[in-house]
């Protein structure tokens, strides 16, 4: 069992980008964790619901969080606030990606941040930021 932490797995985004990560990092995603536990994951896990750009950001956060939990420096709050220092559009995508991957605390973090940002804005500001269909 000790060797499983070192095992690596490849995560493949919807647009074909591949990321080689340690299993421990990948398992921050509940979806991936259950796939691995149930023996449904091969060496490459396809994630059709998540684009490479956002998958990369989430993987980056998970790597940092695993390192922090193992006794790294910095604070979890700091990690989280850095994660959400992005524009509104990216934040929405990160929220959807976290939801897809079932990294629940990222879902809460991104949706709360989004809610806080929407709170203070006028309609036009929200529209411009989201650029929705008319």
Partner 1 sequence: MQSKARIYADPPLHSDQFDRIPDSIVLLILNKVADVRALGRCSAVSKRFNFLVPLVHDIYVKIDRVVTVDGDPSDESLNLSSPKPRNLFSHLLKLVLFTILKPFHHLRNPSSGNKPLLPQLSHHSPAQVLKNFTQIRNLHIELPAGDVGTEDGVLLRWRAEFGSTLQNCVILGGTPIDRKSNLFDQDPFPAAEDSGSIPESFYTNGGLKLRVVWTISSLIAASTRHYLLRPIIKNHPTLTSLVLTDSDEQGTLSMGAEQLREFREKPLAASASANRTQVPASNMKLRYAPYLELPGGIGMQGATLVAIRPSAEGSSAGAAVASSGGGVSNGGGRKEAEAFLNSSFDGPFRAAVKMLLKRRTYLLEMNGF
Task: Please tell me the distance from the alpha carbon of residue 6 to that of residue 86, in angstroms, as a whole number.
Answer: 31
Q: How far is the CB of 33 from partner 1 (least distance, A)?
A: 20
Give 8 or 121: the residue with its C-beta nearer to partner 1: 121
- Min separation Cβ 58 and partner 1, Å: 15
Question: Any residues with CB less than 8 A from the CB of 118 and at least 6 apart, and which?
Answer: 126
Closer Cβ to partner 1, 43 or 134, answer by number: 134
Burial category of 110 from C-beta neighbours within 10 Å (exposed 0-12, middle 13-18, buried 19 and up): buried
Name the DSSP class of 9.
Answer: E
Smallest gap from Cβ 19 to partner 1, in A, equals 15
CB of 103 to partner 1, least distance (A): 13
List, in order, residues 6 or more apart from 49 with CB less than 8 Å away. Answer: 14, 96, 97, 100
**Shorter beta-carbon distance to partner 1: residue 73 or 134:** 134
- Name beta bridge partners: 19: 11
- Of residues 25 and 103, the one with the C-beta less far from partner 1: 103
Binding footprint of partner 1 on the chain (CB under 8 A): 14-16, 46, 48-49, 51, 87, 89-90, 92-93, 95-96, 99, 107, 111-112, 114-116, 118-123, 126-127, 130-134
């Amino acid at each position: 069992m000790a060797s499983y932490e070192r095992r690596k797995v490849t995560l493949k985004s919807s647009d074909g980008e591949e990321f080689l990560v340690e299993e421990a990092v990948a398992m921050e995603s509940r979806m991936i964790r259950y796939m691995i536990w149930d023996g449904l994951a091969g060496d490459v896990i396809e994630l059709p619901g998540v684009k490479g750009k956002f998958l990369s950001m989430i993987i980056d956060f998970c790597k940092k969080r695993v390192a922090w939990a193992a006794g790294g420096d910095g604070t979890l709050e700091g990690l989280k606030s850095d994660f959400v220092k992005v524009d509104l559009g990216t934040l929405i995508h990160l929220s959807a990606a976290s939801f897809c991957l079932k990294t629940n605390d990222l879902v809460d973090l991104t949706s709360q941040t989004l809610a806080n940002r929407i709170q203070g804005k006028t309609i036009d500001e929200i529209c411009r930021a989201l650029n929705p269909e008319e």
